[in-house]
Amino acid sequence: MANYIRFDWAMKRLLRNKANYAVLEGFMCSLLNEKFKINRFLDSESNQQTENDKFNRVDILAENEKGEFIIFEIQNTREHTYFHRMLYGVSKVITDNISLGDDYDKVRKVYSINIVYFTLGQAKDYVYHGKTMFQGLHQPDDILKLSNRQSELFFGDEIPQGRKTNREAGDIFPEYYLLCVNNFDKLAVNNLDEWIEFLKTGEISEAAQAPGLADARKCLDIDKLTVAEKNDYVRHMENLRYQRSVIKTGYDDGWQEGHADGREEGREEGRAEGREEGRAEGRAEGREEGRAEGAKDEKKATAHRLLAMGLSAEQVAAATQLSLDEIKKL
């Protein structure tokens, strides 16, 4: 089996060449389950070409033949604010591509395609699709649809006389696809599975039939890279190794520090709780001792009165439950 380069490096270095458009077109065709053609790639400010950016992510911005924008992003490292960054990326593409004073119908559809190699949220599936939907609060089955005129204006649809469009209002809004590659743990059963299997393992099965994978076999074979490209790719892989090492070291250091801090906090909390419990127990014991001493004083006072009335020491001891020695000392 051939040795293929990683998809993130390929996106940055190879797949933006027009001769290799078929690879990403095939991937998008498998994801959206419809024909997909790339018109051009646009500059993306975070798509840095320098190897100094060891913790870079890969993202590229493309425009398809419909004039829609597609953000392709691959993320290798964990990021708690990733969902927010997805939202920011889409918002920025929208605002960057409409001029001040333009009509709102110039806002173009955006797809955000996110390939992540870490656990994101509580993900169990390996493919998620996020889309805006306007649902009736009082009639939950009522999903707001566009008018026929809106469908014609915004999507170029031709609606037959007497028919109504099925376009939803949410179709205008951005859509998000999230591929949690590490969650894929089964045999590939369709085109998208074959792509995700490749993204996870770096291998393309001989039986794979998904659009774009045949082209990937040709242009992503590491043995077909030039010497300069191979050197560049080796540096990329070393940077990923360095990145994993730094993250693991940070995790281990954080665990050790947290463990030590936890022990110290535990001891301090234990001492504080001990002091508080000691004070509480002391107060309780003091109250109990005070009550006992008060009861005994009361018994002695009663004994005095009984002795003054002429009762014998034995009779007073029996009545007050004091000992004879205690009675004799009164």
Domain count across the chain: 1
The share of the chain scoring above pLDDT 70, in percent, equals 80
Furthest-apart CA pair in the chain: how many Å? 125
Task: Quick: pLDDT tens for 212-254.
Answer: 999 998 888 888 778 887 787 777 777 766 666 666 676 566 6
Residue with the bigger pLDDT between 78 and 94: it is 94
CB 263 within 8 A of CB 255: no
**What is the phi/psi pair of residue 214, to 5°?**
-65, -40
3 state DSSP class of 242: helix
pLDDT at 248: 64
Task: Assign 293 a pLDDT band (cuts: 50, 70, 90).
Answer: confident
Dist CA 298 CA 242 (whole Å): 82
**What is the phi/psi pair of residue 85, to 5°?**
-70, -35
Residue 198 exposure: Cα atoms within 13 Å on the Cβ side: 32
110: amino acid identity, one letter: V
Task: Quick: pLDDT tens for 163-174.
Answer: 999 999 999 999
Residue with the bigger pLDDT between 39 and 2: it is 39
Whether residue 115 is contained in a domain is answered as yes
- DSSP letters for 100-112: TT--GGG---EEE
The share of the chain scoring above pLDDT 90, in percent, equals 46
Residue with the bigger pLDDT between 224 and 263: it is 224
* Averaged pLDDT, 82-109: 92
Whether residue 306 is contained in a domain is answered as no
CB 151 within 8 A of CB 157: yes
Q: Domain range holding 73? A: 7-132+173-225
Whether residue 238 is contained in a domain is answered as no
Whether residue 112 is contained in a domain is answered as yes
Dist CA 209 CA 218 (whole Å): 14
* Averaged pLDDT, 39-64: 65
* Averaged pLDDT, 2-13: 78
314 pLDDT higher than 90: no
24 pLDDT higher than 60: yes
What average pLDDT is seen over the chain? Answer: 83
Dist CA 313 CA 316 (whole Å): 5
Whether residue 308 is contained in a domain is answered as no
Task: Assign 122 a pLDDT band (cuts: 50, 70, 90).
Answer: very high
* Averaged pLDDT, 200-211: 91
Burial of 116 (0-12, 13-18, 19+ CB in 10 A): buried
Whether residue 70 is contained in a domain is answered as yes
Lowest mean pLDDT among 25-39, 57-71, 140-154, 255-269: 255-269
CB 178 within 8 A of CB 142: no
CB 70 within 8 A of CB 62: yes
Residue with tokens 């020695």: 325
Whether residue 322 is contained in a domain is answered as no
Dist CA 28 CA 24 (whole Å): 6
Dist CA 112 CA 69 (whole Å): 9
217: amino acid identity, one letter: R
10: amino acid identity, one letter: A
pLDDT at 246: 62
Whether residue 256 is contained in a domain is answered as no
**What is the phi/psi pair of residue 40, to 5°?**
-165, 165
Dist CA 56 CA 15 (whole Å): 18
Closest of 193, 179, 190, 189 to residue 125, by C-alpha: 179
Dist CA 144 CA 134 (whole Å): 5
pLDDT at 261: 63
CB 124 within 8 A of CB 85: no
Dist CA 82 CA 275 (whole Å): 45
* Averaged pLDDT, 57-78: 88
Closest of 161, 77, 59 to residue 119, by C-alpha: 77
Q: In the numeric block, which tokens belong to residue 37?
A: 């053609």
